[in-house]
Homo-oligomer: A and B are copies of this chain.
Amino acid sequence: MNKETAYKTYLSEDEIPRAYYNVRADMEQKDAMLLHPGTLQPVTVADMEPIFCTELAKQELNTTDRYIPIPAEVLSFYRMYRPSPLVRAHFLEKLLGTPARIYYKYEGNNTSGSHKLNSAIAQGYYAKEQGLSMLTTETGAGQWGTAMAMACAYFDLKLKVYMVKVSYEQKPYRKTVMQTYGAEVFSSPSTTTEIGKQMLAQDPQTSGSLGNAISEAVEVAVGTEGARYVLGSVLNQVLLHQSVIGLEAKAAMEKIGEYPDVVIGCAGGGSNLGGLMAPFMEDKLAGRPSPYFIAVEPASCPSLTRGRYAYDFCDAGQVTPLAKMYTLGHGFVPAPNHAGGLRYHGMSPILSQLYNQGILDEARSVEQTEVFAAAIDFSRAEGTLPAPESAHAIKVAVDEALKCKETGEEKVILFGLTGNGYFDLMAYQQYLDGQMSDFIPTDDDLECGFATIPSLPGIQSF
């Protein structure tokens, strides 16, 4: 049976999920608790409140409620761009000559260009609810900053974005989009913070880093009345919000009588994969038939496939709590030729725990030139120009579909197409010009990163 389904399956707006699904409630072994870096004690809501919105701090620590209602105002905003389409990759299947049925959940059809908006609008809402007037955040490539700018425009909140200097200079139009939505955007390190001034004094020519940008954003949030800091991945609250992706995908597949045999997602901090797989993971945790889960990461930043499962800082600047996760060390920096996103040194604590137990079945690393090759094949067959991050998942979906071609299996493959590639054309041009190379860190390279993982005696007791 090669089932004929439509190209795109849309749920109706009434079918947008009414609650986020908190996969941690169903995990027998929870992800390890976040630790206060000073006391090495589990962080409390009170510890987090000076930095995060109170409700988000509660969500961060919530391991018991299976469903958390989506506020009406957030639902209303979702209706602007959700439900996102579940697309049957008819043309890609034809190109590959595979008996597999390939589906992707496309999150790029909104001006932020990615799934980041799903969490941004929730975080904006809780800030507004709490009566705050300003948020701060950092952004690397700019997707998260853009999403937060849209959310803050909607809730009439002030937003300060610290954008890593090299991106600020190389992607000026990302800055323009954020400014269009009313955000104030700073090149980080900046002269607006103490830590920024220190960094600039040490190295006036620095190209900046996400770690520094986080530190600047946190400093401003902590030092400003009515302000808090927000973050777009890794955190449990973010995976929670991103569960809308998986809930919609599952409902849409049910609608057309499908259920995936394989679920594939790219993984940087893990928010997209975590969100896409959550409701299918629910099946697995309940002992029901469930898909095979694959996390895809770049070979140049291989936290799951080659990292250590240990407590580490979430940022290079060491201002965040310690999280137990697969990590390359918070001092790890991907090779400069790495163009394909997913640059984060660690992995969501939830995904890390599930992977450590073998519940998240597999992590696979891929090299960037093969990722861009897959992206271009996909763009020509399916029309959509994917973000390089999303193309990691495409590459593995194609590999799995080609396996089906060999075996004749009619597997149902679902992957997350997290965003579009409009702001990644410099990387595409590099690839087209033959200027892109691969880089796999040596064991020695990795050891340098691992050396930055803090040594914390007695931590295993948590």
Residues on A lying within 8 angstroms of B by beta carbon are 6-8, 10, 12-13, 77, 79-81, 91, 109-111, 150, 153-154, 172-173, 176-177, 179-182, 376, 379-380, 382-385, 420, 422-423, 425-426, 428-429, 432
Contact = CB atoms under 8 A, between A and B. Distances in A.
Copy total for this chain: 2
A429 B176 contact: yes
A8 B12 CA distance: 9
14 contacts: A8-B13, A77-B383, A80-B383, A173-B422, A173-B425, A176-B428, A176-B429, A176-B432, A180-B385, A181-B379, A181-B380, A182-B380, A422-B422, A422-B423
Contact of A384 (B111, B182, B382): B111
A109 B109 contact: yes
Contacts of A384: 110-111
B429 A383 contact: no
- Looking at A91, A110, A182, A422, the one whose CB has the most chain B CB atoms below 10 A away is A422
Contact of A13 (B7, B13, B177, B428): B7
**Candidate in A8, A81, A153, A383 with the most chain B CB atoms within 10 angstroms:** A383
Contact of A383 (B8, B111, B172, B420): B111
Contacts of A423: 422
Interface of A is mostly: helix
A373 to B, nearest CB: 11
A377 to B, nearest CB: 10
Given A422-B422, A425-B173, A150 B180 contact: no
Contact of A428 (B8, B180, B379, B385): B180
Contacts of A422: 173, 422-423
Nearest to A14: B6
A425 B146 CA distance: 13
Contacts of A383: 77, 80-81, 110-111, 150
A176 B379 CA distance: 13
B425 A176 contact: yes
A428 to B, nearest CB: 5
A273 B182 CA distance: 31
A445 to B, nearest CB: 31
Given A6-B79, A176-B429, 7 more contacts: A111-B385, A153-B380, A173-B422, A176-B428, A177-B428, A179-B429, A179-B432
**What 9 A-B pairs come out closest when comparing CB atoms?**
A173-B425, A153-B380, A176-B425, A7-B79, A176-B429, A422-B422, A111-B385, A80-B383, A6-B13
B177 A425 contact: yes
Given A91-B80, A181-B380, A379-B180, A426 B6 contact: no
A429 B175 CA distance: 9
A423 B176 CA distance: 11
Given A13-B8, A422-B422, A382 B80 contact: yes
A171 to B, nearest CB: 10
A13 B7 CA distance: 8
A138 to B, nearest CB: 21
A385 B154 contact: no
Contacts of A432: 176, 179-180
A72 B110 CA distance: 29
Nearest to A91: B80
Give the most central of A77, A379, A432: most B CB within 10 Å. A379
A173 B385 contact: no
A138 B158 CA distance: 43
Contacts of A150: 380, 383
Nearest to A78: B7
Contacts of A111: 379, 383-385, 420
